[in-house]
Amino acid sequence: FETGMMGQLSWKGKWITDTYDFNVKPAAYFRRAFKTDKTIKSARVYIAAAGLYELSINGKRIGDHRLDPTYTRFDRRNLYVTYDITENLQQGNNAVGVLLGNGWYNHQSTAVWYFDKAPWRARPKFCMDLHITYSDGTKEIIATDERWKTSQSPVIFNSIYTAEHYDARKEQPGWDTP
């Protein structure tokens, strides 16, 4: 049994984004490498996004969700998802990767309900806390902050209405591996 993150003060991570204008089309990659020197007992990741994301740990996609998180009024609330990633971490070098797309947050296509003019519209961003409990009882949190690296991904266009365009020439093999 676990109680969720009950408010903004529960989060250690900062909301991060790339530095581009919201009209830039490509989705962003985010990456953070870290090292664990102790035996891992358990690990959970909590991720909130303004936009849509795909999360990976050590090169493996986490979860079976698509189009996460669901729509919300981003000027009133943000939703988050929790994953048990104990089996995905390893003692030693690890890497977290996030592919961050527009979703309903940065709607770039003209739409009937004018989502392209929504008051919250901006470049997608996310906040993440990765909680690790070690077998000796100590704990560590890997959180979103200025140490995360970012670059444009091969997803050169993405829209909740008109799908995505993928340019395989822009792939970055190993971007989410240690």
Average pLDDT over every residue of 50-63: 97
CA 26 to each of CA 113, 123, 158: distance values in angstroms, whole numbers, following the listed order: 23, 11, 7
**CATH number of residue 139's parent domain:** 2.60.120.260
pLDDT at 20: 93
User: Is 141 among the domain residues?
Assistant: yes
Average pLDDT over every residue of 162-166: 92
For 127-157, the pLDDT digits (tens) are 999 999 999 999 999 999 999 999 999 999 9
Please give the residue range of the domain that contains residue 120.
11-162
pLDDT at 1: 65
- 15 and 126 in contact (C-beta within 8 Å)? yes
pLDDT at 113: 76
For 18-56, the pLDDT digits (tens) are 989 988 999 999 999 999 999 999 999 999 999 999 999
**Number of domains forming the structure of the chain:** 1
User: Is 58 among the domain residues?
Assistant: yes
pLDDT at 70: 87
* SS3 sequence of 153-165: CCEEEEECCCEEE
pTM value? Answer: 0.94
pLDDT at 160: 87
Cβ within 8 Å of residue 89, ≥6 positions away? 36, 40, 43, 57, 58, 132
User: Is 125 among the domain residues?
Assistant: yes
User: Is 72 among the domain residues?
Assistant: yes
Average pLDDT over every residue of 69-73: 88
User: Is 118 among the domain residues?
Assistant: yes
Q: Give the rounded percent of residues in the chain with a pLDDT score beyond 90.
A: 73
And the tokens for 40? 């891992």
CA 154 to each of CA 147, 171, 175: distance values in angstroms, whole numbers, following the listed order: 22, 5, 12
- 62 and 85 in contact (C-beta within 8 Å)? yes
User: Is 176 among the domain residues?
Assistant: no
